[in-house]
Structure 1
Amino acid sequence: MNRREKIEAMLADDPTDSFLRYSLAMELRSEGANAKSLAIFNELMKNDPPMIQAFFMSAQLLVDIDEIEQARTNLRDGIDQARAQGDSHAAAEMSELLATLGEMGEL
């Protein structure tokens, strides 16, 4: 049983576990299953409260597949959510990536 299968088995017991869902999205990303990974990240961004890490990781994945505009949108939304949740470190990380993407758009 590989890591993804182990995570999926644990999710069968608790499908609402955000950390396990995030872990599955990360595994899918590493396997190149980008659409499935993004779908899970998108669900996590809609949690109450939204999972901040999902905004950042989805943006990184979107950059990898050359979806820069959507990455920028996710980062802006993630920065707003991070600030609302008092996570200045995550907001700063996403701001740095957003600034880098701004530079890429000017090339």
Structure 2
Amino acid sequence: MAEKSARRRQLEASLAEDPGDTFLRYGLALQCLRDGDTEEGRDRLRALIADHPEDQVAAYQQLGQSHAEAGEPEEAAVVLRAGIARARARGDLHAAAEMEGLLETLG
């Protein structure tokens, strides 16, 4: 496991006080990824998507990007396609276009 940054410890403490805060949950997932704790970050993004699939378009994008950066194009494509569908359903064409661009880079 990667060493926890001060920011990560702060986010964990805040989340302990308000475990349902989706903004904190997303922030902690990203911080885990930044700290090099890839599996923890991905697990947190997956949990956020599972709990709030309609509202967490950014989580799909970050999870897909994490897989792409790790050289896992098939996994990235699955996540990104799901995220694109959610983004379009929400009318978030900008997010959909960003994910489509990333999907195109996968080959």
- Between the aligned residues of both structures, percent identity stands at 41
> What is the CA–CA distance in structure 2 between the aligned matches of 1:48 and 1:16, rounded to whole Å?
15
CA 1:48–1:58: 2 relative to 1, 3 Å: closer
> What is the CA–CA distance in structure 1 between the aligned matches of 2:70 and 2:100, rounded to whole Å?
20
TM (norm. structure 1) is 0.90
Look up the equivalent residue of 2:19 and give its one-letter code.
P
Q: How many residues align?
A: 102
Write out per-residue CA displacement over residues 49-101 of structure 1, whole angstroms, 9 at most, x where no aligned residue.
Answer: 24000111011111122211010000000000001111110000000000111
Runs of 4 or more above 2 Å deviation: none
- Please name the residue that 2:30 is paired with: 26
Q: Is the 8 A contact 1:44 1:50 kept in 2?
A: no
Identify unmatched segments of 5+ residues in structure 2: none
Identify unmatched segments of 5+ residues in structure 1: 103-107
Of 77, 80, 83, the residue aligned with 1:72 is 77
> What is the CA–CA distance in structure 1 between the aligned matches of 2:92 and 2:32, rounded to whole Å?
26
Look up the equivalent residue of 2:33 and give its one-letter code.
R
> What is the CA–CA distance in structure 1 between the aligned matches of 2:90 and 2:47, rounded to whole Å?
18
Equivalences for residues 1-12 of structure 1 within 5 A: 2-12=6-16
> What is the CA–CA distance in structure 1 between the aligned matches of 2:53 and 2:78, rounded to whole Å?
19
TM (norm. structure 2) is 0.90
User: How far did 1:6 drift?
Assistant: 0.7
- Please name the residue that 1:42 is paired with: 46
Of 52, 58, 65, the residue aligned with 2:63 is 58
How large is the RMSD of aligned CA atoms in angstroms? 1.2
- Please name the residue that 2:102 is paired with: 97
